[in-house]
């Protein structure tokens, strides 16, 4: 379970694809920020996994939020989750386009527009999703092994060669972690752990979910925190603590590949190009299928229009997948037609409200854990669970505040653009609340499902 969750997080994509953005903005303190994110999510996981052990229904954050705060809140959370995950998945097509473009040039000397590559990927993801093909657990384990191995080889080579001018620990000094640049990329650091909560989705497949789910969650978060911290720290050492921010800004998405070439060799660069393409593609397919499953489950329960519950001959939610793919294709082609940048505009700007939305859901889930355990006076370790959940909710709120406060540093966009990006989250939540209230008046039994702990009624993620 742990390997599957970590694999779906695509560690090579998070590092070689996205970490250069964080290093270019945050500089030397970024490794410490990844470690900080891991600590915060570990504290959050204490209450979350304890709550998951008590609620038998399988589902995403919206199940726990609905159980604690009522069906309308659960519906609003579900709407926010659907929008946020779509924004995250669609934005990554920009990264996929430029990384595959670079891989084709490196391996075959072929030049292709990024948007053509991304459009082909959207279609390919839709076809495989419609055929019911998913990235199996064994394939994911192989991918994570290869992805992690190539990065570890790079990290060890940097350490063995002493980096650019000796090894240092400035990445973990509080003054370097809590500065405006690092605070601006906290969202990127938290996004690297995206999907870790899916361990709770496997409760039906485990013999002892009360023990297995917490262990798998802590193991996944712990591995990613230490791994992301170690790899980014070695890249800092590769260029020097004083020069890493300038190197990240100059090289952009080439940062890890230049590092690999310098410290390991050309063969490893070629291997990493192949692996990052497979990593991003597998992640996109997994995201696509998860979103469709989420939408299908809600439509089947009557929470969304029944048309989204239509399946094709392969048993896949073809209509939901088609709508999601058309939306992704429209966004990719629109950005290309407007001459917008696939990294700065499509990845960062489209992902930004998605990342904020997921952190908001995590904050609400932590608050839901507080409400859940307050009502259960006989619960073992009740005081500990309440206090850790309060702490997690508070820190998540602080993270959201800091990301929003320093958003201009991350996006490089005018204030009006940043206001729109941030406003997406509260507007979607408000629309979800209104929709939930309308649904409650029209079909109260349907909206009530989101507040019931009924093992026979499942809303898959």
CATH number of the domain within which 260 lies: 1.20.1740.10
Tell the burial category of 121 from Cβ atoms under 10 Å away from its Cβ (0-12, 13-18, 19+).
buried
199 domain residue, yes or no: yes
What torsion, rounded to 10 degrees, do the Cα atoms 154, 159, 162, 166 define? 120
Q: Are 210 and 202 in contact (CB under 8 A)?
A: no
Both tokens assigned to 216: 């798998």
80 domain residue, yes or no: yes
Taking every pair of C-alpha atoms in the chain, what is the biggest distance, in angstroms? 68
Q: Are 436 and 71 in contact (CB under 8 A)?
A: yes
Phi–psi pair at 101, nearest 5 degrees: -60, -45
How far apart CA 350 and CA 461 sit, in angstroms, is 22
461 domain residue, yes or no: no
458 domain residue, yes or no: no
How far apart CA 134 and CA 148 sit, in angstroms, is 21
228 domain residue, yes or no: yes
pTM listed for this prediction = 0.91
How far apart CA 211 and CA 123 sit, in angstroms, is 40
Nearest to 440 by CA among 66, 3, 68, 131: 66
16 domain residue, yes or no: yes
How far apart CA 48 and CA 370 sit, in angstroms, is 10
Domain count, the chain: 1
Tell me the per-residue pLDDT of 150-170, one tens digit each, with 9 for 90 and over: 999 999 999 999 999 999 999
Range of the domain at 208: 2-451
Tell me the per-residue pLDDT of 271-311, one tens digit each, with 9 for 90 and over: 999 999 988 888 888 788 878 877 887 787 777 888 998 88
How far apart CA 383 and CA 182 sit, in angstroms, is 33
Write out the chain's pLDDT in tens, 461 residues: 555 566 566 788 899 999 999 999 999 999 999 999 999 999 999 999 888 888 876 667 888 899 899 999 999 999 999 999 999 999 999 999 999 999 999 999 999 999 999 999 999 999 988 887 655 556 667 777 898 999 999 999 999 999 999 999 999 999 999 999 999 999 999 999 887 776 665 555 566 767 777 888 898 899 999 999 999 999 999 999 999 999 999 999 999 999 999 999 999 999 999 999 988 888 888 788 878 877 887 787 777 888 998 888 888 888 999 999 999 999 999 999 999 999 999 999 999 999 999 999 999 999 999 999 998 888 888 999 999 999 999 999 999 999 999 999 999 999 999 999 999 999 999 999 999 999 899 888 888 877 765 444 443 33
Name every residue whose Cβ is closer than 8 Å to that of residue 119 and which is 6 or more positions away in sequence: 329, 332, 333
The dihedral region occupied by 194, where left means phi > 0, alpha psi between -120 and 50, and beta the remainder, is beta
Name every residue whose Cβ is closer than 8 Å to that of residue 424 and which is 6 or more positions away in sequence: 83, 87, 353, 356, 357
187 domain residue, yes or no: yes
Indicate the DSSP class of residue 252. Answer: G
């Amino acid at each position: 379970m742990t390997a599957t969750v970590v694999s779906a997080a695509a560690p090579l994509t998070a590092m070689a694809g996205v970490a250069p953005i964080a290093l270019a903005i945050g500089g030397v303190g970024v490794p410490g920020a990844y470690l900080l994110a891991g600590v915060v999510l570990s504290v959050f996981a204490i209450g979350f996994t304890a709550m998951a052990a008590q609620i038998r229904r399988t589902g995403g954050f919206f199940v726990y939020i609905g159980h604690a705060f009522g069906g309308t809140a659960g519906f609003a959370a579900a709407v926010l989750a659907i929008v946020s995950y779509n924004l995250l998945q669609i934005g990554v097509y920009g990264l996929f386009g430029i990384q595959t473009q670079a891989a084709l040039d490196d391996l075959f000397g072929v030049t292709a527009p990024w948007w053509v590559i991304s459009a082909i990927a959207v279609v390919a993801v839709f076809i495989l999703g419609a055929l019911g093909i998913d990235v199996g657990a064994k394939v994911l384990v192989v991918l994570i092994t290869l992805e992690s191995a190539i990065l570890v080889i790079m990290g060890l080579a940097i350490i063995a060669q002493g980096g650019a001018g000796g090894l240092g620990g400035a990445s973990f000094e509080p003054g370097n972690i809590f500065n405006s640049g690092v605070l601006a990329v906290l969202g990127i650091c938290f996004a690297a752990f995206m999907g870790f909560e899916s361990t709770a989705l496997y409760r039906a497949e485990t013999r002892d979910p009360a023990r297995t789910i917490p262990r798998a969650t802590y193991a996944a978060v712990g591995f990613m925190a230490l791994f992301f911290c170690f790899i980014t720290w070695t890249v800092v050492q590769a260029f020097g603590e004083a020069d890493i921010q300038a190197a990240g800004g100059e090289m952009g998405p080439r940062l890890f590949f230049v590092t690999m070439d310098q410290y390991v060799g050309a063969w490893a660069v070629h291997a990493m190009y192949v692996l990052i393409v497979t990593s991003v593609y597998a992640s996109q397919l997994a995201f696509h299928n998860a979103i469709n499953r989420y939408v299908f489950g809600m439509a089947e329960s009557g929470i969304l229009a029944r048309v989204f519950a239509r399946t094709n001959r392969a048993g896949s939610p073809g209509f939901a997948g088609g709508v999601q793919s058309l939306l992704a294709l429209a966004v990719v082609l629109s950005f290309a037609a407007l001459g917008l940048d696939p990294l700065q505009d499509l990845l960062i700007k489209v992902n930004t409200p998605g990342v904020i939305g997921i952190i908001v859901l995590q904050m609400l889930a932590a608050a839901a854990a507080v409400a859940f355990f307050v009502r259960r006076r006989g619960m073992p370790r009740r005081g500990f669970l309440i206090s850790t959940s309060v702490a997690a909710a508070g820190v998540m709120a602080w993270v959201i505040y800091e990301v929003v406060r320093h958003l201009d540093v991350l996006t490089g966009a005018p204030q009006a653009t940043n206001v729109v990006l941030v406003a997406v989250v509260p507007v979607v939540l408000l629309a979800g609340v209104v929709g939930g209230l309308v649904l409650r008046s029209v079909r109260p039994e349907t909206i009530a499902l989101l507040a019931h702990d009924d093992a026979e009624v499942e809303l898959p993620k």
